[in-house]
Amino acid sequence: MPSDLERDMSPAEAEAGLPEPPPPEGPGLFGLEEVPVAAPLAPAAAKPTPYRVLARKYRPQALDDLIGQEALVRTLRNAFARGRVHHAFLMTGVRGVGKTTTARIIARALNCVGVDGKGGPTADPCGVCPECVAILADRHPDVIEMDAASNRGIDDVRELREALRFRPAQGRQKVFILDEVHMLTEQAFNALLKSLEEPPPAITFILATTELRKVPITIRSRCQTFALKRVPEDRLRAHFARIAGLEGSAAEDSALALLARAADGSVRDGLSLLDQAIALAGDGGQVTAESVRDMLGLADRGLVLDILEAVLRGDLPPALARMAEAHERGADAANILSDMLEQLHILTRFAAIPALREDQGLPENERVRGAALAASLSVPALARAWQMLLKGLEEVQQAPDRRAAAEMVLIRLAHVADMPTPGDILKRLESGGTVPAASGAPAPTHGGGGLRAVAGGGPIMAAASPAPAPLPQPSAWREVVALASGTHPLLHAHLLHDVHPVRVARGQVEMRVRPQAPRDLAAQLTRMLEEKTGARWTIALSNAPGEPTLAEQSQAAEQDRRAAAATHPLVVAILTAFPGATLDAVRDANLDAYGLAPVAPVEEELPEFAPPDAEPAYDDEFPEED
């Protein structure tokens, strides 16, 4: 029977081989009877390890683990090998490509002391020394990460500068990692400049941003900048396949391809999607392309190609039927149009550069069907479809009913499928041919020998239409300004507001121009008048005050009309009967577009009497009166 001391000993003390206590002398407190011994306590159940998402579980721990960033890795390795490590780094790139991960690797490389504790800075940190372990656990006192999105003010930067005064507490190098650095204010950037340019000897700055253009050039010039690239789809696909295998989950190649495409070059985004896909498959299940499409709300690539092929040849019923099928599968209308844009880009590349049809990086179905479809279409037709799809995608994203908006885009695409492009129209016009109408609509003609027009629009050009007759010669400034209305809106606005007319006669204009008017306003006016009237005009600039601008004349006339109307007995009676009523506007049908009375026609002045030097008329030219 174990003694009281043995029962009180911990398992570790028992294993240590402590001496047994002496036997008790005489009966115990309870006599000679045995004291019941309590049953040993069951070992406490171990707490389950919390689940770590794939993006954290497989975060790169060394430079060689970074995928798709070969230039960055090579540069950093050479810098550590030659002892030329910069004191300030700027990492830029899209989300999830490894900016902060690279910053932590650099922090470990600068502070690693090796397995024996005697190592120096190295591009291959050991990962087992106290410095590496502390940095990996995010508890190293000399590696400070600051989120510039939430600590963006000048006071935060002042605290950071205050921390620069102290030497590293534990490691060799104090490392400051500033994430989303573009969010700092202008004053904070200015406060950071001097510290970035001349930091203390044991200080290293690592800045990370997704918006390089928002970082001032003064900051960029003080840092060694690394642009982390988007990871190619094939590299992502291989990376996801390896991680799926390590997780004991089978995945179809087509499913991994969909995940890699949806990741858009971001490793972290792709791993988050893979995590979700594995959870969707369940224990022992396989990650399939169908499940990934349902998860992402995507349509099958073949189905998207069916829709695109149907609308490009103008066959609308099957296109709408396939769109309805994609909708029933749960595909989002905006995603379908995005996939159509991607397919259209591939077709345009095939049409522009036929050699790309042999690109083995594309699926065989897309290469074979896409090459055949691209061979039947011209680059201008594909470019027109691209513009319409791009505009349609914006409409779909803003529409309350995305499916209806997407179907309207498909209808427009199918309607213009067999319509000629502007380039084809010009070529046919130059050759004297006609432009056929769109299918299903009559082609209206213009006159007897006119050129046929596209359905839904007016005539493109009349083959035998005479040149337009020149307009009458203006004799007043208002008529000059009116000529620019409609065809030259910007010139019309300047003539209306920025010109004081001095003198206007047939073929001549003298005017004073305000400083805010364009410097070539006179040249623009000359070209417009010669174009409209078919005659030569002389435009002279003057320093004379001239008349008020046409806009000022119109405003003054409006004020006069309002003042006159306000004193009219009927208006006065109405305003009295309805308190609070105001006189809004006074309209006169007899006024022109500028609110002024029409210009009186200028008649040529004829002399009432013959001049003194006129030749006398011969008597035989008039009959004699009896």
CATH number reported for the structural domain that contains residue 243 in this entry: 1.10.8
Instruction: Write out the H or E segment, with its range, that includes residue 244.
Output: helix 233-246
The token duo for 559 is: 């004020």
Which residue's entry shows tokens 């522009």? 352
If one compares 515 and 459, the residue with the highest pLDDT of the two is 515
Q: Is 529 among the domain residues?
A: yes
Alpha-carbon distance of 134 to 169, in angstroms, equals 13
- Res. 247: pLDDT tops 70: yes
Q: What is the pLDDT of residues 363-411, one digit of tens each?
A: 666 777 888 888 888 888 888 999 999 999 999 999 999 999 999 999 9
- Res. 272: pLDDT tops 80: yes
Alpha-carbon distance of 541 to 526, in angstroms, equals 12
Q: Is 96 among the domain residues?
A: yes
Same domain, 179 and 79: yes
Q: The domain that contains 209 carries what CATH number?
A: 3.40.50.300
Same domain, 79 and 195: yes
pLDDT at 90: 95
pLDDT at 33: 45
Q: What is the pLDDT of residues 30-77, one digit of tens each?
A: 444 444 555 555 555 566 778 889 999 999 999 999 998 999 999 999
Residue 619: CA count within 13 A, CB half-sphere: 2
Q: The domain that contains 312 carries what CATH number?
A: 1.20.272.10
Per cent of the chain over pLDDT 70 is 79
Reduced to 3 states, what is the DSSP secondary structure of residue 43?
A: coil
End-to-end CA distance of the chain: 177
- Res. 226: pLDDT tops 80: yes
Same domain, 205 and 78: yes
Which residue's entry shows tokens 């994430």? 179
pLDDT at 577: 78
What are the phi and psi torsion angles at 499 (to 5°)? -125, 130
Confidence of residue 329 (pLDDT cuts 50, 70, 90): confident
Question: Across residues 461-488, what is the average pLDDT?
Answer: 69
Alpha-carbon distance of 72 to 64, in angstroms, equals 11
pLDDT, the chain, mean: 80
pLDDT at 133: 93
Same domain, 151 and 242: no
Q: Is 599 among the domain residues?
A: no
What are the phi and psi torsion angles at 35 (to 5°)? -90, 125
- Res. 19: pLDDT tops 70: no
Range from 83-97, 129-143, 428-442 carrying the lowest mean pLDDT:
428-442
Same domain, 216 and 156: yes
Q: Is 36 among the domain residues?
A: no
Same domain, 223 and 237: no
Burial 132-167 (b: 16+ CB within 10 A, else e): bebbbeeebebbebbebeebbebebbeebeeeeeee
Alpha-carbon distance of 562 to 568, in angstroms, equals 10
Question: Across residues 167-171, what is the average pLDDT?
Answer: 90
Same domain, 151 and 209: yes
- Res. 321: pLDDT tops 70: yes
Same domain, 182 and 308: no
Alpha-carbon distance of 320 to 389, in angstroms, equals 15
pLDDT at 604: 47
Contact 210, 178 (CB under 8 A): no
- Res. 350: pLDDT tops 90: no
- DSSP class of residue 28 equals B
Q: The domain that contains 536 carries what CATH number?
A: 3.30.300.130
Domains held by the chain: number: 4
Q: Which domain-ending residue is among 415, 441, 456? A: 415
Same domain, 62 and 196: yes
Q: Is 431 among the domain residues?
A: no
- Please name every residue paired with 504 in a beta bridge, in sequence order, or none if there are none: 509
Q: Is 461 among the domain residues?
A: no
Residue range(s) defining the domain that contains residue 146:
54-227
Amino acid (one-letter) located at 438: A
Q: Is 154 among the domain residues?
A: yes
Range from 260-264, 281-285, 589-593, 606-610 carrying the lowest mean pLDDT:
606-610
Q: Which domain-ending residue is among 415, 448, 463? A: 415
The token duo for 377 is: 């279409």
Contact 311, 305 (CB under 8 A): no
Same domain, 180 and 96: yes
Residue 200: CA count within 13 A, CB half-sphere: 16
Confidence of residue 174 (pLDDT cuts 50, 70, 90): very high
Question: Across residues 319-342, what is the average pLDDT?
Answer: 88
Confidence of residue 492 (pLDDT cuts 50, 70, 90): confident
The segment with the largest mean pLDDT, out of 24-28, 197-201, 242-246, 413-417, is 242-246
Same domain, 204 and 242: no
482: left (phi over 0), alpha (psi -120 to 50) or beta: alpha
- Res. 99: pLDDT tops 80: yes
- Res. 91: pLDDT tops 90: yes
- Res. 518: pLDDT tops 80: yes
Q: Which domain-ending residue is among 547, 567, 593? A: 547
Per cent of the chain over pLDDT 90 is 30
Sheet holding 143-147, edge to edge: 143-147, 174-179, 203-209, 88-92, 224-227
Confidence of residue 626 (pLDDT cuts 50, 70, 90): very low
Q: What is the pLDDT of residues 440-471, one digit of tens each?
A: 444 433 333 333 334 334 343 334 444 555 56
pLDDT at 426: 67
Angle in degrees, 0-180, between the axes of helices 154-163 and 186-197, rounded to the nearest 10: 20
pLDDT at 10: 47
Q: Which residues contact 354 (CB under 8 A, 6 or more apart)?
A: none
- Res. 205: pLDDT tops 90: yes
Q: Is 186 among the domain residues?
A: yes
- Res. 478: pLDDT tops 90: no
Same domain, 485 and 371: no
Please, is 314 exposed, middle or buried when counting C-beta atoms within 10 Å of its C-beta (0-12, 13-18, 19+)?
middle
Q: Which residues contact 97 (CB under 8 A, 6 or more apart)?
A: 68, 69, 228, 229, 230, 231, 265, 266, 267, 268
